A and B are shown apart, each in its own frame.
Chain A
Amino acid sequence: MKETRAGLPTVDAAGPAAAAEPTAAGGTRRWIPGTPVAFAALVVLFAVLRPQSFLSTGNLRNTVEQIAILAVVAAVQTVVMAVGEFDLSVGALVSLTGVVAAHLMLDGTPVAPAILAAVLTGTAVGVVNGVLVAWLRLSAFVATLAVLTALAGTSLLLTDGSTLFGLPAGFVAIGRDRLGGVPVLVIVAAVAAAVVWFLLAHTSAGARWYAVGGNAEAAWYAGIDARWMRLAAFVVSGAGAGVAGVLLTSRLASAHPTAGDGLMLTSIAAVFLGMTASRSGRVTVGGTLLGVAVLGVLDNGLNLLQIDTYVQQVLTGLILIYAVALSRRREARR
């Protein structure tokens, strides 16, 4: 029942794993933990090139703040990719949910209900994605790309293409305040990532997600209905995008209709980077967060070196190719 999806490579590393006989050495061939090595190399490189600024606490804190929102989106993208799909609509959904919250607050809605509305909007879009992929059997690529487009249009309609300013101070505080020296933003992101990690690693739902992504047919014979698991994964992804939308809008103290769009590609890149962090090639929240760290450090270091952001974009693309090629190679070997 392996479905070949158009577009991005599927994470379904299971495939018809050719009878992987144990090699004489009693294991798979030599394996290089690509992402941890890359991470260490980047840290050393920047520490040598910019010893004062790169390793300062201020810079470290800054980096963590910068990647907190990506961490949330990448964590939920991990769930979708664990189930063998991917969600291209997350970035546009982050933008839209931020716009929804801002719009409501500017219309006089109190902060808490506005936040709730943003998260519910994300969840509802997740349901739509899930139904399109699991029940109408559209490929995740087509379904989430179409949803992305519709979401982007909705954001532009709601804002008239402009940026929404003048958000309540209580809301903006989420992105600015600290709790015991730690930014609230980072705390929320850490909690969200921890919840997703717990779901994947320690619940029966997590085991079912991995099973469907690893071998949907085997899962079916074991009494697991892939449709519900796919739906649930997209719902988690949508809700996570809602949380990220709130965080992003409060951090920027404004809502822009395309503010979160870039998170789509970087979140997928982070998950792919994370796949190379474990021997099995399985997607895990831990691996994904390492991938997020690589992207964050790269971004920060290149900034310190005053390298053009356009160059950074080129580098991100190259790194994505590197990570995907690495995980593919492993698959080919299996």
Chain B
Amino acid sequence: MGGTALEVSELEHRYGAQTVLSDVDLTVRMGEIHALLGANGAGKSTLIKILSGVQRPTAGRLSVFGQPVTLRSARDAHAAGIVTVQQDLGLVSGLTVLENLYLGRPLPRRGPLPHRAEARRVAREWLATVGVQLPLDELVGRLSPVRQTVVALARALAGRARVLILDEPTAALTDQESSLLFTLLRRLRERGVAIVYVTHRLHEVFLLADRVTVLRDRRVVATVPPAEVDADDLVTMMAGEPLASSGAAASARGPEILRADGLTGRRVRDVSLTLHAGEVVGVAGLAGSGRSELLRLLAGAQRPRAGRTAVRGRPLQPGSTRRALAAGVALVPEDRLHQALLPQADVTENVVLASLRELSRLGIRSARRDRAAWAAAARQLTIRATGPRQPVTQLSGGNQQKLVLARVLRRAPAVLLLDEPTRGVDIRTKQAIRGLIARTASNAAVLIVSSELDELTAVADRVLILREGRVVAELSAADADEETVLRHCYGGSSR
């Protein structure tokens, strides 16, 4: 293990009044695999963005091999020898391996012409540094995921990367492929490359890392060699002080409304659940655990590969949001901007979108009824807008979110599915939305996905925990403290 490759000190980053990173110190040595752990929202993504030059920190110092550097762009980061391989790898699937390796860098030339033979020879050398040979003329899109990762790594190293940042490189890989990747990474470590390894999988930390840094609430909690801790310790570090149980009143449970049996999708595997009127059920899980997909499957927005859903005992035909809505199952999707709002339209058009049939007679709309619908929504959810014709893009994030909620609440759903309903909204709206959830649950079932565990424990009667597509635990609100939930999310003791 050699000298210091990357040193970050007193790094701080703020958006307006919001602090997203504070007082972060991190040292990565040459020939070290340094794991970076943290629950959703702990600040990992921001740290990676800063290290790859995509985002400039508000304060703090950065040095690479002892040289202070200022990273204004990804190009600066490359020049300093820091290369980030994102989860999506940044490859062009319609180009060949060779073309991808030379993406953004000049081909060798002989006189005015590209020197193909030389380009191929150099490309093979690059692949050899990773220790794998691949057919140079194969389209990257036709390679297996692990081979694609190899191309991304070779490309990064060809840029003379001395610090390599990997963001969840095993997310798309099978166990077997992962261990292949680990072999490659260990080889790179021997060659003196400093590797920052971001992961959600605790067992990889123990398998691979020389040291691990844990982030929580935008700060570094600790940097330790994995040998000195166990998985439970790491989870405790990520979770922080156990929250006092908020003790959501276990509301009166009514009759069963929704039942799903063996739902299976791309990520979701064999999930069965029942929802009763009058209850709020939380879904916790790491990003990629299949939380959003579960909601989409239930809402008819995605066709399941297997499994059945029934509402009030009647089977629901899969793969149609229209039929699901008609049966009383409504979803508020995660991404307001891309999945919910009509950006060109005004607030009224947006609020009536899911109830056009009810608001028209023989297919003919009435401006009066539409306006009344908007007025009712604005009043009931206190949506602040200048009038019924205000463009929806002019509303604040919180008011947009209330509008999207109003759209589905108009239909008086029997099952309300909420995906991160309070993301990116201010604290007052957050409270308003929580109140709304409680009111809705008085005669409907609510299933809520949230990355904020305190939110789940505050509103939910019970919490389901998804890990790698399966429900691995069900906790009552009282038992669902942050540490217990995280322990289940991460699979508890090392796998």
Binds B, one of A141-149, A217-225, A290-298, A308-316: A217-225
Residues in A neighbouring B326, C-beta threshold 8 A: 223
Chain B residues positioned under 8 Å from A211 (CB to CB): 342, 345, 349, 353
Cα separation A237 to B484 with both chains bound (whole Å):
59
Identify B343's interface contact among A14, A22, A222, A223, CB under 8 A: A14
Give the CA-CA distance A28 to B301 in the complex, in Å: 34
Give the contacting residue for A16; candidates B299, B321, B337, B365; CB below 8 A: B337
Q: B352 contacts which chain A residues (CB < 8 A)? A: 207
- Residue A281 lies at the interface, judged by CB distance under 8 Å to chain B: yes
B288-312 contact mask (Cβ, 8 Å, vs A): 1 or 0: 0000000000010100000000000
Closest chain-A Cβ to B213's Cβ sits at a distance in Å of 31
B92 CB–A CB distance under 8 Å: no
Docked complex Cα distance between A214 and B337 (Å):
11
Q: A334 at the A/B interface (Cβ < 8 Å)?
A: yes
Q: Do the beta carbons of B354 and A222 come within 8 Å of each other?
A: yes
Q: How far is the CA of A20 from the CA of B354 in the complex (A)?
A: 23
Whether A20 pairs with B342 at a CB distance below 8 angstroms is no
Interface centre among B353, B397, B407 (most CB of A within 10 A): B353
CB–CB A217/B391 < 8 A: no
In the complex with contacts A215-B338, A221-B321, A203-B394 CB distance below 8 A:
no
Residues of A within 8 A of B341 (CB): 215, 218
- Look across to chain B and name the residue whose beta carbon is closest to the beta carbon of A22: B394
Considering the complex, give the chain A residue whose CB is closest to the CB of B326: A223
In chain A, residues 1-32, which have Cβ atoms closer than 8 Å to a Cβ of chain B? Answer: 2, 13-17, 19-20, 22, 26-28
**Complex Cα–Cα for A29 and B135 (A):** 52
B331 within 8 A of A: yes
Assembly CA distance A119 to B354 (angstroms):
33
Considering only residues 304-351 of chain B, those with a C-beta below 8 Å from chain A are 320-322, 324-326, 331, 333, 337-345, 349
On whether the beta carbons of B325 and A14 are closer than 8 Å, the reply is no
Complexed CA–CA distance, A210 and B356 (Å):
12
Interface membership of B129, Cβ < 8 A: no
- A38-69: CB near B (< 8 Å → 1, else 0) gives 00000000000000000000000000000000
Q: Which residue of A lies closest to B395 (CB)?
A: A22
Distance, CA A222 to CA B395, complexed state (A)? 20
CB <8 Å contact, A214 and B342: yes
Chain B positions 363-389 with a Cβ under 8 Å from a chain A Cβ: 363-365
Say whether B22 faces chain A, with CB atoms less than 8 Å apart: no
Residue total for A at the interface (Cβ-Cβ under 8 A): 36
Contact with A along B451-485 (1 / 0, CB 8 A): 00000000000000000000000000000000000
Also in contact, A204 and B363, with CB within 8 A (given A210-B345, A280-B344) = yes
A residues in contact with B360, CB < 8 Å: 203-204
Known: A217-B338, A221-B299, A222-B354. A20 touches B393 (CB 8 A): yes
In the complex, whether B357 has a CB less than 8 A from a CB of chain A is yes
CA distance A14 to B365 in the complex (A): 23
A256 touches B (CB below 8 Å): no
- Bound Cα distance A210, B347 (Å): 14
When the two chains form their complex, are residues A207 and B353 in contact, meaning their CB atoms are under 8 A apart?
yes
B345 contacts across to A, CB distance below 8 A: 210-211, 214, 280, 282
Whether B342 lies near A210 (C-beta < 8 A) is: yes
CB neighbours (8 Å) of B342 from chain A are 14, 210-211, 214-215, 218-219
Which of A22, A208, A218 makes the CB contact (< 8 A) with B340?
A218
With contacts A16-B337, A280-B344 taken as known, whether A219 is within 8 angstroms of B363 at the C-beta atoms is: no
Q: Give the shortest distance, in Å, between A212 (CB) and chain B (any CB).
A: 10
Within 8 A of B (CB), among A68-111: none
Question: How many whole Å from A72's CB to the nearest CB in chain B?
Answer: 22
- Is there an interface contact between A219 and B365, defined as CB atoms closer than 8 Å? no
- Within the complex, the shortest CB–CB distance from B190 to chain A, in Å, comes to 43
A205 adjacent to chain B (CB < 8 Å): yes
Asked if A329 lies at the interface with its beta carbon under 8 angstroms from chain B, I say no
Question: Are A223 and B363 interface neighbours, CB within 8 A?
Answer: no
Chain A positions 220 through 259: 1 when the CB is less than 8 Å from some CB of chain B, otherwise 0: 1111110000000000000000000000000000000000
Choose one: A2, A17, A26, A223; the contact of B322 (CB below 8 Å): A223
A204-B365 in contact (CB<8A): yes
Set of chain A residues within 8 Å of B356, measured between Cβ atoms: 204, 207-208
Q: How many positions in chain B have a CB within 8 Å of any CB in the partner chain?
A: 36
Q: Please give the distance in Å from B390's CB to the nearest CB on chain A.
A: 9
Chain A binding surface SS class: loop
Expressed in whole angstroms, the Cα–Cα distance for A220 and B342 within the complex equals 12
A223 near B337: Cβ-Cβ < 8 Å: no
Q: In the bound complex, do residue B343 and residue A225 qualify as a contact, i.e. CB atoms below 8 Å apart?
A: no
Q: Least Cβ distance of A24 to chain B in Å?
A: 12
| With A204-B356, A204-B357: A222-B393 Cβ-Cβ less than 8 Å | no
Return chain A residues, CB-CB under 8 Å to B364: 202-204
Which A residues are in CB contact (< 8 Å) with B340?
A: 218, 221
Q: Do B339 and A218 touch across chains, with their CB atoms under 8 A apart?
A: yes
User: Are B299 and A19 neighbours in the complex by a CB distance under 8 Å?
Assistant: no
Residues of the A chain whose Cβ atoms lie less than 8 Å from the Cβ of B393: 17, 20, 22, 334
Chain A residues with CB under 8 Å of B331's CB are 221
Pick from A2, A19, A27, A223: contact of B321, CB below 8 A. A223
What is the bound-complex CA distance between A225 and B340, given in angstroms? Answer: 15
Bound Cα distance A219, B341 (Å): 9
Chain A residues, Cβ within 8 Å of B338: 2, 16, 215, 217-218
CB contacts (< 8 Å) of B391 on chain A: these are: 28, 280
Q: Known contacts A27-B394, A225-B320; is A215 also within 8 Å of B343 by CB?
A: yes
Complex contacts, B301 vs chain A, CB 8 Å: 220-221
Residues of B within 8 A of A15 (CB): 343
User: A139-175 vs B: 1/0 string, CB under 8 Å?
Assistant: 0000000000000000000000000000000000000
Which of B299, B356, B363 has the largest count of A CB atoms less than 10 A from its CB? B356
Contacts of B395 in A (CB 8 A): 22
Once A16-B337, A204-B356, A217-B338 are accepted as A-B contacts, the answer to whether A222 and B407 lie under 8 Å apart by CB is yes
Q: Please name the residue on chain A nearest to B342 by beta carbon.
A: A214
**With contacts A208-B356, A218-B353, A221-B299 known, is A17 near B365, CB below 8 A?**
no
Nearest Cβ distance between residue A215 and chain B, in whole angstroms?
5
Q: CA–CA, A313 to B304, complex, Å?
A: 53
Q: How far is the CB of A233 from chain B (nearest CB, A)?
A: 15
* A17-B337, A334-B343 known; A210+B394 contact, CB < 8 A: no
Among residues of A, the one whose C-beta sits closest to the C-beta of B340 is: A218
Report yes or no: A214 in contact with B344, Cβ–Cβ below 8 A: yes
Please give the distance in Å from B327's CB to the nearest CB on chain A.
Answer: 11
B363 contacts A221, C-beta separation under 8 Å: no
Note all chain A residues with C-beta closer than 8 A to B353: 207, 211, 218-219, 222, 224
- Determine the chain B residues whose CB is within 8 A of the CB of A202 once the complex forms: 364-365
Residue of A nearest to B331 (CB): A221
Complexed CA–CA distance, A281 and B333 (Å)? 26
Q: Out of A20, A221, A225, which one reaches B339, CB within 8 Å?
A: A221
Show 11 residue pairs from A and B whose CB-CB distance is below 8 angstroms, ordered by the A residue.
A16-B338, A20-B394, A22-B394, A207-B352, A214-B343, A217-B338, A218-B340, A218-B342, A219-B353, A221-B340, A224-B321
Given A17-B393, A204-B356, A223-B354, 7 other A-B contacts at CB below 8 A?
A204-B357, A210-B342, A211-B349, A218-B340, A220-B321, A221-B301, A222-B353
Q: Which residues of A contact B (CB under 8 A)?
A: 2, 13-17, 19-20, 22, 26-28, 202-208, 210-211, 214-215, 217-225, 280-282, 334
